[in-house]
Amino acid sequence: MPKPEPQCPKCRSTKLRQKMLSDDTTQMDVCPDCRGGWFDGRELPAVLSCAVDDLSIPSDAERTSSVCPKCFVPLARIDYPDTSVEVDVCDQCSGIWLDRGEFKAINLQRAAFQDRLKFYESQPSPKSLKEAVIQFIDRIAVKYGEVR
């Protein structure tokens, strides 16, 4: 029996089209209707310079009504680490669905986040307890606050 063709988890009846990315080795599946894209879990770090290598799905992650185009199980909705972008992930194959624009948003936000972290880490060691506290709070703000 031939494998069923992968369908867009959002548009349901739209078939995904394979697209070769500019590096000529990575393929993704794109939806011609909503312009979202499906990446295999191991493909994302190859195409997204700031990708998280190992995206873990918390056990209490919200299940969506979208299904994985490969495994046909409901996708889990999670916050992509250090961004304000919510993505749909399959816990069977670790594939990830990005709506149109989310790919770019993750890339930009994670790059900005890493820049800011680098900036704070490059600051000289604190000379006083007060300075140490201020630096500590700044780092927390970068990690949890300003990103949203």
Q: Choose between 80 and 97: whose C-beta lies nearer to Zn ion.
A: 97
Scan residues 62-91 and list those touching Zn ion (CB under 5 A): 68, 70-71, 90
Scan residues 99-138 and list those touching Zn ion (CB under 5 A): none
Q: Order of strands across the sheet with 96-98?
A: 17-20, 27-30, 37-39, 96-98, 86-89, 74-79, 62-67
Using CB under 5 A as the binding rule, whether residue 15 contacts Zn ion is answered as no
Tell the residue number behind the tokens 């867009």, with chain if given. 8
State how far the Cα of 64 lies from the Cα of 128, in Å rounded to an integer: 49
Candidate ranges 25-33, 52-60, 116-124, 133-141; the one touching Zn ion (CB under 5 A):
25-33
Q: Choose between 14 and 114: whose C-beta lies nearer to Zn ion.
A: 14
Q: How far is the CB of 16 from Zn ion (least distance, A)?
A: 8
Using alpha carbons, list the distances in angstroms from residue 10 to 13, 19, 40, 51, 118: 9, 18, 17, 23, 37
Using CB under 5 A as the binding rule, whether residue 10 contacts Zn ion is answered as yes
Residues forming contacts to Zn ion in the complex (CB under 5 A) are: 8, 10-11, 14, 31, 33-34, 68, 70-71, 90, 92-93, 95
